[in-house]
Amino acid sequence: MQGLPNIIGHESIIEHLQNAIQMNKISHAYIFHGEEGMGKKLLAGAFAKTLQCEERGIIPCNQCTSCMQFNTENHPDIIRVTHEKVSIGVDDIRLQVNGDIYVKPYRSPYKIYMIDDAEKLTESAQNALLKTMEEPPEYAILLLLVNNINSLLQTILSRCVVLNLKPVDKPKLKEFLMTEHKVPDYMADMAADFSGGNVGKAMKYAFSEDFERLKEDVLHILKYIDAMELHEVVSGLKTITGNKGSIEDNIDLMILWYRDVLMLKATNDPDLLLYKNEYQYIKKQANIISYEGLETIIKAMEKAKVRLKANVNVDIAIELMLLTIKENSNG
C-alpha cells in the first residue's frame, strides 16, 4: 500500500489491510487510532484509494480515473465527513452518512466514509452511527480516525477493526528525514529524538526555524522552576503561550524532560536520557523530586493538553500546570 508518498512504518497495519483486500475480507468499519501526526490520514487514505482503484490490486495504480479523482479529493464514492462546530453532531452524521449511505456507489465497488477527528463525535452522533453499523449496505465502509479511542462508545469499538498506530523507530525516522526530505544529519537526529516516533512532529521539528529557540526557552523554565518566585512563574507562562501554535509542542518538550528525570531516578543511567546535555540539572531534580511528585507533574501536563483541546482558557490551563510543577519540584 505504498502507493501514497510519506508512509513510513506501520508495516503490520499495511500488511493486515493488504491481506484483507487480497482475500476479499473487508470489514464494514475500521478505526485508525493514534495521536495527531502519526499518519492516520495517510493510511486510511491509501486504504480507501486502493479499494477503489480500477486495477483491483493491493496497491493503488495512481493512473486510473478513480486514483486521479482521489488525488484531487474529488472522488464521488469516498466521502469525507465534515463538521462546522467543535463537535461532530447527530445532524452531521444523519445528513452526511445515514442519509446518503443507502444510495449505491456511482461507479466504484465501495462507498467509503472517512470520519476524521472521530473523538469529536457526540454520544448521540455515535448512537446514530451505530444504527448504520448494525445493518450496513454490502458496499459501505466506515473509516474512523481517532486520537483518543477512549472517547468512543464500547458498542462502536466492538463493531470495528481497531488499528493502533505505533511510533516509528528512531533510525528509520532519521533516515526518512535525511533521504526523502534532505534534512541535515544533526537536525534529523534531533527531530527523530524529540518526536517520540511521531512522523508529523518530526517533520514539524525538522523544518521549524524556531524549534531550537523554543526548546531553550522551555528548558530555562524547567531548570530553575523550583527556585522561581510566583511572578517569574507567570513570566514563564508567557514564554509557553507566546506562540499559540507551539503551546502543545512546548508541553510535549516539558513532558519529555520529566520523563528523563523519572528515567534517571529509576535507572541512574545517563545514556537513556533525551536531554543528555542537561544531565546535571536532571540529576539534581531526580535526587529531589519523589516518584509521586513526578507522577503528579506528568499528569498535570497531560491534563493541560486535554484542557487546551477542550478550548478552556489557555492562560489558566498553563498557570495551573506550572503551579503544580512548582509545588512538586521541592520534594
Q: 58-113: per-residue pLDDT in tens? A: 989 889 999 999 999 999 999 999 888 888 989 999 999 998 999 999 989 999 99
CA distance 102 to 318: 47
Q: Which three cell numbers stand for residue 224?
A: 530553575
Mean pLDDT of 219-223: 81
What pLDDT is recorded for position 239?
Answer: 67
pTM value is 0.75
Per-residue pLDDT, 241: 66
Q: Give residue 223's pLDDT band: very low, low, confident or very high (50, 70, 90).
A: confident
Does the pLDDT value for residue 329 go beyond 90? no
Closest by CA position to 272, among listed 193, 172, 192: 193
pLDDT for 323: 84
Long-range own/partner contacts, residues 253-256 (CB < 8 A, 24 or more apart): 253/194, 253/214, 253/215, 253/218, 253/219, 254/218, 254/221, 254/222, 254/301, 254/325, 255/298, 255/301, 255/302, 256/194, 256/196
Report the percent of the chain where pLDDT is more than 90: 41
The better pLDDT of the pair 295, 4 is held by: 295
Is the pLDDT score of 242 beyond 70? no
Q: Which residue spans within the chain are E strands per DSSP?
A: 29-33, 78-80, 111-115, 140-146, 161-164
> If 0-12 CB within 10 Å is exposed, 13-18 middle and 19+ buried, where does residue 186 land?
exposed
Q: Is 318 in contact with 237 (CB distance < 8 Å)?
A: yes
The CATH superfamily of 11-164 is: P-loop containing nucleotide triphosphate hydrolases (3.40.50.300)
How confident is the model at residue 272, as a pLDDT?
A: 84
The stretch 209-216 carries a mean pLDDT of: 75
pLDDT (mean) for 272-288? 87
Checking if the pLDDT of 191 tops 90, the result is no
The predicted pLDDT at position 245 comes to: 61
The pLDDT of residue 1 is 54
CA–CA separation, 94 and 128 (whole Å): 7
**How far apart are alpha carbons 207 and 191 in whole angstroms?**
9
CATH topology of 11-164 equal to that of 208-327? no
- Predicted local confidence at residue 295, as pLDDT: 92
Q: Which pLDDT value is given to residue 4?
A: 46
Instruction: Give the per-residue pLDDT at 243.
Output: 60
Q: What is the 3-state secondary structure (H, E, C) of 158-202?
A: CCCEEEECCCCCHHHHHHHHHHHHCCCHHHHHHHHHHHCCCHHHH
Q: How confident is the model over 107-133, as pLDDT tens digits?
A: 899 999 999 999 999 999 999 999 899
Pick from 315, 203, 311, 190: nearest CA to 253 = 190
Higher pLDDT, 234 or 4: 234
Least confident of 88-92, 211-215, 282-286: 211-215
For residue 3, the model assigns a pLDDT of: 47
Mean pLDDT of the chain: 86
Higher pLDDT, 242 or 178: 178
Q: What's the pLDDT at 176?
A: 87
Q: Which fold, 208-327?
A: Zinc Finger, Delta Prime; domain 3 (1.20.272)
What residues does each domain of the chain span? 11-164, 208-327
Question: In this model, does residue 2 exceed pLDDT 70?
Answer: no
pLDDT of residue 130: 92
